[in-house]
Chain A
C-alpha cells in the first residue's frame, strides 16, 4: 500500500503503473526535447525550400538534364557526372541551393562544357536518369527546347559518327552586352583570351585532340575578334555577320543559330569583362 501513497496527485488510471512525480517530470521533459529535435530537423529539411521560393538560382545544368523540377527530384547527388568530365566543367551546388545541394551545375564563365569527352559522358554516368539521352514519354518537352537535329561536333567532323547524342539544349547563347563586344566595336584581340591567371581548360583540335590544355596557354592574335565563333564546338551554332560601322570600319555581329546547344564555350572564351555573350540556362529557341 505504501507504493500507492507515493503515487502522483492525479490517481493513475486502472491498470496503469503508478509513476513518481520525478518520473512524470522527466517524461514531460523528454517530450519537450523530442519536439525540439523534431522541429530542428524538419525546419532544417524544409529550409531547402527557401532558395527555391525566393532567390530562384538559375543554374546551367549539364547536358541531357531533365527540366529543373524533375532534375532536382531525380538527382541522387552522387557526382558521378563530375568525375567523368575531362575538363571539370561540372560542379556540385552548396547549401545556398536548398534542395539543390549536391546537385551538378556548370559555371560556364569559369569552365564551360566543350565536349572534350566527344560523347556526353556525364549522361552515360548518371545512375538515375537525371541526365538522359531520351526523356521518358510521360514528361513534357518545352517548346523550342528540343534540338531540330543531333548537334555535329566540329572536333568529330571527320569521324564516321560526328554527332553528339543530345536531343535537348542546355540553354541558348545570347549577345547580352552588344555594347562591349569587340567584334561589334570593330576591334581585334591579341593575347590570352582570359588573362594569364585563368584556370579554365579547353581542347584545341590543332594542338591535341585528346588532351584539353589551359586557355591561358593558347594566346591569340586576331585583327577582328571572332573568338566565340572560332572556338564554338558545335557546327553552325554561331556566325559573324560583317557590317560597316559609321566610321567606315568593318565590324561584325555574332549571330547565334538554332544549332546552339548552350554549352557555354563562347561565354568562357569571350575576352571582355564581363562576357559580352552569355548562356541563358534552360532557354528555348525562339525563331
Chain B
C-alpha cells in the first residue's frame, strides 16, 4: 500500500469512530493525472455506455446477500425446529456442528460483566474473531444480522415517505456509536449485568426467530419506527456497538470493496444507497488519492454500491488473492 493509501486508511479508521472525512491533503501524481484528464475531456463512448447501464438496475449482490442472511438465520431456526442440529443456539452464541461460536460483542459483554472466562467461551470467541477477520468484519452486519434486513425494509419505507416529502432524514452525530460502545462496556463492568444484551435488537430478533416472539420485540419495533419517521438507519449508523466491534475486526480483513477512479462519473448514486456514506467519500470528485482506493473498515461489504454503480468502478476485492491468481 502506498503512503497516501495508508494515510487515507488511518483517516478511515478515525471516520469509523466518528470523525467526519475531509478532503485529502495530498493526491498521488497518477490520480492527479486522471482527475485533470476528466476535467478537460469528454468520453463520449463512455457516457453512452453509462447511460445504457443506468437503464438496467442490478440487484445481484443484494439478492445474494439477502439469500445468505435468510439462509444463515433459517439454519438456526431449523436446527432447533427440525432438530437437524447443524447450528444450535442463537446469534449470541452457538455451536456449528459441535464447534463453539460466540458473537464478539455478546462475549465481550459477558466477559466484562462476569469477569470470569471459561475455555469454551474463549474458543468460541476466537473462532468467530478469525472467521470475521477473514470475511471482512462488518460483513457480519449486512450478511448475517437479522436486524439489518428488517432495517433495510424499513429504510425503503423511509425513502418512500421522504420522496413524498412526508419525512426528512435527521442526521445524528456519528461519534455517538463510539460513546455507546464505551458506555455499555463500562456499564457491564460496573453493574455486573450485560446491559447491552437486554436491548440488542440482533439478539432479540435472533431469539424471537428461534424460540418464538415476545414482548421484547416492541423495542425492535420502536427502533424501526424511529428509523422510518425520524432518522434513516439510525440504529446501525449511530448507535450499534456490535457494528463498531466488528468494524475494528474488519481493519485487518482482506475482503473489501475497491474503488477505481478512472471510469467513475462522480454521480454519487453509490453514496445514496450506502449505509455508511463516509466510507465512500473517496468517490467525490477530486478526492481519490490514488487511481485505486480500497474502502475503509466501517464498510459493511453489503454490495449495494457495487450494484448501484453503472460503470463498474466499485467491486469486491480479496486482498492478495489477485496476486496469487
Chain A positions within 8 Å of B, measured between CB atoms, are 29-31, 33-34, 37-38, 40-42, 44-46, 48-49, 69-70, 72-80, 82-84, 92, 94-96, 98-99, 101-102, 125, 127-129, 136, 138
Contacts and interface: CB of A to CB of B under 8 A. Distances in A.
Given A30-B171, A74-B110, A94-B215, A128 B120 contact: yes
- Count chain A CB atoms within 10 A of each CB in B80, B173, B196 and give the residue with the most: B173
A127 B120 contact: yes
Given A31-B173, A94-B215, A95-B215, A80 B198 contact: no
A122 to B, nearest CB: 12
Nearest to B239: A41
Interface in B174-197: 176, 179-180, 183-184, 187, 191-197
A252 B198 CA distance: 47
B207 interface: yes
A74 B113 contact: yes
A226 to B, nearest CB: 36
Contacts of A129: 116, 118, 120-121
A30 B103 CA distance: 32
B207 A70 contact: no
Contacts of A99: 193-195, 197-198
Q: What bracket does the count of chain B residues touching chain A fall in? A: 35 or more
B264 interface: no
B199 A41 contact: yes
Interface in B191-249: 191-199, 203-204, 207, 210-211, 214-216, 218-219, 222, 226, 231, 234, 238-239
Contacts of A29: 170
A72 B188 CA distance: 11
Given A31-B173, A37-B238, A45 B187 contact: yes
B204 A102 contact: yes
A48 B198 contact: yes
A79 B89 contact: yes
A69 B173 CA distance: 35
A44 B219 contact: yes
23 contacts: A34-B238, A37-B172, A37-B231, A38-B180, A48-B193, A48-B199, A73-B113, A73-B193, A75-B194, A76-B106, A76-B194, A77-B197, A78-B89, A83-B80, A83-B89, A92-B214, A95-B215, A102-B204, A102-B207, A127-B102, A128-B93, A128-B102, A128-B118
A19 to B, nearest CB: 14
Interface string B83-107: 0000011101111000010110011
B116 A76 contact: no
A125 B198 CA distance: 22
Nearest to B125: A127
B51 interface: no
A221 B117 CA distance: 51
A33 B198 contact: no
Given A33-B172, A48-B199, A127-B89, A73 B215 contact: no
B213 to A, nearest CB: 9
The binding surface of chain A is classed by DSSP as helix
- Residue of B89, B113, B180, B222 most packed against chain A (CB within 10 A): B89
B296 interface: no
Nearest to B217: A95
Which of B88, B106, B194, B218 counts the most chain A CB atoms within 10 A?
B194
A74 to B, nearest CB: 4
A66 to B, nearest CB: 9
The 8 closest A-B pairs by CB, nearest first: A78-B93, A129-B118, A94-B214, A74-B114, A73-B113, A95-B215, A78-B89, A48-B198
B124 interface: yes
Nearest to A37: B172
A121 B174 CA distance: 44
B116, B215, B234: residue with the most chain A Cβ atoms closer than 10 Å: B116
A69 B120 contact: no
Contacts of A125: 88
A30 B172 CA distance: 6
Contacts of A74: 110, 113-114, 116
Contacts of B184: 45
Nearest to A27: B173
Contacts of B90: 77-79
A33 B216 CA distance: 24
Contacts of B124: 127
A80 B187 CA distance: 26
A31 B172 CA distance: 7
A95 B191 CA distance: 19
B88 A83 contact: yes
A76 B215 contact: no
Contact of B193 (A33, A72, A78, A95): A72
B216 A95 contact: yes
B106 A30 contact: no
Contacts of A136: 116
B43 to A, nearest CB: 35
Contacts of A42: 183
Contacts of A69: 192
Given A73-B114, A127-B121, A128-B114, A78 B94 contact: yes
Contacts of B191: 49
Contacts of B88: 80, 83-84, 125
Contacts of A92: 207, 211, 214
Contacts of A49: 191, 193
A211 B210 CA distance: 24
